Amino acid sequence: MEVYLLRHGIAEEGLSGGSDSMRALVPEGRRKLRDVLKVAKAARVKPGLIVSSPYRRARQSAEIAADVLGYTKQIIESETLLPSGSPAAVWDEIRAHRDEESILLVGHEPLFSQTTAHLLASPAMQVEFKKGALLRIDFDQFPPSPRGWLRWMLPPRLAGAD
């Protein structure tokens, strides 16, 4: 299985008293995200399933991914992908969809850096997951503890999105 982790694009700054979950993508965030996803499409990224955090900025990012990558099925929302989620719960989410050839998860930091280390069975690994970055990890088995292979990471800068 190909597992893609996509951090949401650049969003509005948080307002005091405002709900973090309602922050929307800004135009620059949408543009950079589209640039990353166009490169991904050229690399033949075609998710069989998209699962998103229910936060507005993540959901908007998932919708852009669906549009650019030609995904026509329903986007699933999962609280597993909230910023406060756990890497072990993300692995359980992946395992629940093991029949898919590929899955795109759309979420947040610090969860995705922690999840990357967990999925690669490398707890000391540190990953800088920029907003709008896309990462691919492959799995051929789904044991209780993951052991994936990092194939590539595409930050916005490498996609020409600066």
20-34: per-residue pLDDT in tens? 898 999 999 999 999
Closest CA to 75 of 59, 93, 96: 59
d(CA 61, CA 52): 9
User: How far is Cα 75 from Cα 84, in angstroms, rounded to an integer?
Assistant: 21
* Structure confidence at residue 16 as a pLDDT band (50, 70, 90): low
pTM value is: 0.95
What is the phi-psi region of residue 119: left when phi exceeds 0, alpha when psi lies from -120 to 50, beta otherwise? alpha
State the chain's mean pLDDT as an integer. Answer: 94
Whether the pLDDT of residue 161 is over 70: the answer is no
Cα gap 152→104, rounded to integer Å = 14
Where are the chain's structural domains?
2-159
Q: Which CATH superfamily is domain 2-159 in?
A: Phosphoglycerate mutase-like (3.40.50.1240)
Roughly what angle, to the nearest 10 degrees, separates helices 87-96 and 111-119? 70
